[in-house]
């Protein structure tokens, strides 16, 4: 297994995700035409995003919106601002959204957007102008019943407010056009924490099946943005010992456990971990190889590869980022008997609460936060159990089980619609 996958190195992220898809399609015995149709995006748009910079010069960025599949409902997926957000990456992420929304049984398809830009290098007003131009460039492809963007890496509630405003300037007030908005503009209570909360629900369930005592569980989290920081805070609240965390510049560790609320405040004020007392600095590479019970990559894709997978010392891998593990590394974990709970399950809390936000906007009715969290927990638990049971019954990995459930649902919807 390792050798065959290893020989296919050099694949793009989209081709890598499709290796997981192909395994599912094969086991489900999908006919060739159906496979082809489910593998490839239904529609792709590449746009130019010219921005007047604060110094008066114009810079031209490239943006994408990839609509992978809408058999089960409108396309749904975030918008990423990142220097590596090229077409192949956005395609990979769009396809993951299709399998994720299907696994969660949300009435959505899958899409993703991206602008190839480092948002840290732009001022707030430059980001505002870039977001408006990008929204204008894709506005004819999105709508509350067509395609609904949301935040992803490098974007946040403010970005969604700008998108909603730019879309509204053309189409009139339309809060359901994006999710992950500020609460003051129709965002849902609990959306900000939702992905991290979803990860915590998965760990709570997994602890029972994998024999982990949460109060003794040592957790390492890579990434301290929205997903990583909420994951660390909620797991710390649950009694886990968070032994190391990092952001893009590097991280800190303390084998006895980090005081996450104080560390979070320090990080917010200082813009990094430096100077936090009682900790030792670690690089991102070192962090992934620290001994722990649960390793949670919560930053970018492709961080766990054939190179470092043999050295990773965890009992369980929970993928909070999208596509953090290459197929080669996935096979190594399988051979080493380390269970991997896949991205389309672990990080689905975000899109699940996006769904709650969209329904609240369509009904013009607000839910209390407790209702959001209770419903989220129910849906995460149900999805976890369906994956766990299928994997156990069929003797396949959790990733294979998750993909099979998702792919089977999308294939069924295509069949029922009868459009081929
Ligand atoms: N960007 C998040 C994801 O990858 C959330 C998407 C959404 O809420 O639509 O799942």
pLDDT digits (tens, 9 = 90+) for 150-208: 999 999 999 999 999 999 999 999 999 999 999 999 999 999 999 999 999 999 999 99
Nearest of 176, 230, 220 to residue 347 by alpha carbon: 230
Q: Is 159 in the pocket of ligand 1 (CB under 6 A)?
A: no
Task: List, by residue number, the catalytic residues.
Answer: 112
In this prediction, residue 330 has a pLDDT band, given cuts at 50, 70 and 90, of very high
Biggest alpha carbon–alpha carbon distance for the chain: 62
Tell me the C-alpha distance between 9 and 306, whole Å.
Answer: 9
Q: Is 101 in the pocket of ligand 1 (CB under 6 A)?
A: no
Q: Is the pLDDT of residue 351 over 70?
A: yes
Average pLDDT over every residue of 110-131:
98
For residue 78, give the ligand 1 atom closest to its CA. 1
- What residue owns the CA closest to ligand 1's atom 8? 351
Q: Is the pLDDT of residue 411 over 60?
A: yes
Contact 304, 325 (CB under 8 A): yes
Rounded distance from Cα 266 to ligand 1 centre (Å): 27
Q: Is 51 in the pocket of ligand 1 (CB under 6 A)?
A: no
Rounded distance from Cα 358 to ligand 1 centre (Å): 13
Q: Cα 357 vs. chain centroid, distance in angstroms?
A: 17
| 3-state DSSP helix/strand/coil % of the chain, to nearest 5 | 50, 15, 35
The answer for 236, left when phi > 0, alpha when psi is -120 to 50, beta otherwise, is alpha
Q: Is 222 in the pocket of ligand 1 (CB under 6 A)?
A: no
Rounded distance from Cα 171 to ligand 1 centre (Å): 24
- What residue owns the CA closest to ligand 1's atom 10? 351
Q: Is the pLDDT of residue 2 over 60?
A: no
Which of the pair, 232 or 6, is modelled with greater confidence? 232
pLDDT at 7: 42
Q: Is 361 in the pocket of ligand 1 (CB under 6 A)?
A: no
In this prediction, residue 10 has a pLDDT band, given cuts at 50, 70 and 90, of confident
Q: What is the mean pLDDT of the chain?
A: 96
Q: Is 150 in the pocket of ligand 1 (CB under 6 A)?
A: yes
pLDDT at 5: 45
Q: Is the dihedral of CA 402, 406, 409, 415 positive or negative?
A: negative
Quick: pLDDT tens for 48-61.
Answer: 999 999 999 999 99
Question: Between β-strands 43-52 and 58-69, what pairing exists: parallel, antiparallel or unpaired?
Answer: antiparallel
The best mutation among 17, 68, 78 to test binding of ligand 1, ranked by most ligand atoms within 8 Å of the C-beta, falls on 78
In this prediction, residue 6 has a pLDDT band, given cuts at 50, 70 and 90, of very low
For residue 354, give the ligand 1 atom closest to its CA. 8
Rounded distance from Cα 76 to ligand 1 centre (Å): 8
pLDDT at 419: 78
Q: Is 347 in the pocket of ligand 1 (CB under 6 A)?
A: yes
Q: Is the pLDDT of residue 298 over 80?
A: yes
For residue 93, give the ligand 1 atom closest to its CA. 4
Q: Is 319 in the pocket of ligand 1 (CB under 6 A)?
A: no
Nearest of 146, 84, 145, 85 to residue 113 by alpha carbon: 85
Q: Is 321 in the pocket of ligand 1 (CB under 6 A)?
A: no
* Structural domains of the chain, ranges and CATH numbers in brackets: 41-185 (3.40.50.10860), 194-346 (3.40.50.720)
Rounded distance from Cα 78 to ligand 1 centre (Å): 5
Q: What percentage of residues in the chain have a pLDDT greater than 70? A: 98
The best mutation among 297, 351, 352, 360 to test binding of ligand 1, ranked by most ligand atoms within 8 Å of the C-beta, falls on 351
Rounded distance from Cα 278 to ligand 1 centre (Å): 35
Quick: pLDDT tens for 14-27.
Answer: 999 999 999 999 99
Rounded distance from Cα 150 to ligand 1 centre (Å): 6
- What residue owns the CA closest to ligand 1's atom 7? 351
Q: Report which secondary-structure segment, H or E, holds 94.
A: helix 87-103
Q: Is 96 in the pocket of ligand 1 (CB under 6 A)?
A: no
Rounded distance from Cα 213 to ligand 1 centre (Å): 30
Tell me the C-alpha distance between 79 and 296, whole Å.
Answer: 22
Q: Is the pLDDT of residue 75 over 90?
A: yes
pLDDT at 391: 98
Q: Is 198 in the pocket of ligand 1 (CB under 6 A)?
A: no
In this prediction, residue 9 has a pLDDT band, given cuts at 50, 70 and 90, of low
Got the DSSP string for 313-361? --SEEE--SSS-B-HHHHHHHHHHT--EE-HHHHTTHHHHHHHHHHHHH
């Amino acid at each position: 297994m390792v050798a065959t996958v290893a020989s296919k190195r050099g694949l793009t992220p989209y081709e890598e995700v499709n290796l997981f898809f192909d395994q599912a399609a094969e086991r489900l015995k999908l006919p060739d035409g159906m496979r082809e149709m489910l593998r490839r995006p239904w529609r792709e748009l590449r746009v130019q995003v010219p921005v007047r910079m604060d110094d008066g010069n114009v810079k031209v960025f490239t943006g994408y919106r990839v609509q992978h599949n809408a058999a089960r409902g409108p396309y749904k997926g975030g918008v990423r601002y990142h220097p590596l957000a090229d077409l192949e990456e956005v395609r990979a992420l769009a396809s993951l959204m299709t399998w994720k929304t299907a696994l969660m049984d949300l009435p959505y398809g899958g899409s993703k957007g991206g602008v190839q830009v480092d948002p840290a290098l732009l001022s707030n007003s430059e980001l505002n102008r870039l977001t408006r131009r990008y929204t204008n460039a894709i506005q004819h492809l999105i709508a509350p019943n067509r395609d609904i963007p949301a935040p992803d890496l490098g974007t946040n509630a403010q970005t969604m407010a700008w998108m909603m405003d730019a879309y509204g300037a053309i189409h009139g007030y339309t809060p359901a056009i994006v999710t992950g908005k500020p609460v003051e503009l129709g965002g849902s209570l609990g959306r900000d924490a939702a992905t991290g909360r979803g990860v915590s629900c998965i760990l709570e369930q997994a602890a029972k099946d994998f024999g982990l005592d949460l109060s003794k569980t040592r957790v390492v989290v890579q990434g301290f943005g929205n997903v990583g920081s909420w994951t660390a805070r909620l797991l710390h609240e649950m009694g886990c010992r968070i032994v190391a965390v990092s952001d893009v510049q590097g991280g800190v560790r303390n084998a006895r456990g980090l005081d996450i609320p104080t560390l979070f405040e320090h990080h917010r004020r200082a813009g990094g971990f430096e100077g936090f007392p009682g900790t030792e600095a670690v690089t991102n590479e070192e962090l992934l190889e620290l001994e722990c019970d649960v390793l949670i990559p919560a930053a970018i894709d492709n961080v766990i590869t054939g190179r470092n997978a043999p050295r990773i010392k965890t009992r369980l891998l929970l993928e909070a980022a999208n596509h953090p593990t290459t197929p080669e590394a996935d096979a190594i974990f399988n051979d080493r008997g380390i269970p991997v709970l896949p991205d389309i399950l672990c990080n689905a809390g975000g899109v699940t609460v996006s769904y709650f936000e969209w329904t609240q906007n369509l009904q013009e009715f607000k839910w209390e936060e407790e209702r959001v969290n209770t419903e989220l927990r129910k849906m995460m638990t149900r999805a976890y159990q369906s994956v766990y049971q299928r994997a156990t019954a069929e003797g396949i990995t959790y990733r294979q089980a998750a993909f099979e459930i998702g792919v089977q649902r999308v294939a069924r919807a295509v069949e029922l619609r009868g459009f081929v």
